[in-house]
Amino acid sequence: QVQLVESGGGLVQAGDSLRLSCAASARTFSTYDMGWFRQAPGREREFVAAISWTGRRTYYADSVKGRFTISRDNAKNTVYLQMNSLKPEDTAVYYCASTSGGDYWKPGAYNYWGQGTQVTVSS
């Protein structure tokens, strides 16, 4: 069982930055690949970014590439999402999730999810 708790969301203006954090309870955190997804009202949950358990491989959705950076600190059981140059279309609830492997861009590949943190970007 892995418990994930996101934090760092908020209301910002377009062009601002935010850093989301996801703290994991599991001692085996360092063995999981981690992902960030987001869901806007009326839309399906979509992939944002993922990072391998070593941190050596990262993956991004085209919509955030060059603006968002995913990272992890296995000593702190935490994964981060640095979001720069935020746009109104980035407004959504952001979720972190853990997986033992699989298609990192698919929500179904992830076993455990956090409760989400709201990010709202005003124009």
pLDDT digits (tens, 9 = 90+) for 71-94: 999 999 999 999 999 999 999 999
| Percent of residues, the chain, with pLDDT higher than 90 | 91
Q: What is the mean pLDDT of residues 13-17?
A: 98
Determine contact, residues 86/11, Cβ cutoff 8 Å: no
Q: What are 80's two structure tokens? A: 């981060």
Question: Rounded distance, CA 73 to CA 30, Å?
Answer: 9
Residue at 121: amino acid letter: V
What's the pLDDT at 7?
Answer: 98
The C-alpha atoms of residue 80 and residue 50 are separated, in whole angstroms, by 10
CB-based contact 101:87 (threshold 8 Å):
no
> pLDDT tier at 64 (50, 70, 90 boundaries)?
very high
Considering only CA atoms, which of 96, 53, 93, 98 is closest in space to residue 73?
53
pLDDT per residue as tens digits for the range 41-60:
999 999 999 999 999 999 99
Phi (first) and psi of residue 74, to 5 degrees? -65, -25
User: Across the chain, what does the average pLDDT equal?
Assistant: 96
Tokens representing residue 114 in the block:
């956090």
pLDDT exceeds 90 at position 31: no
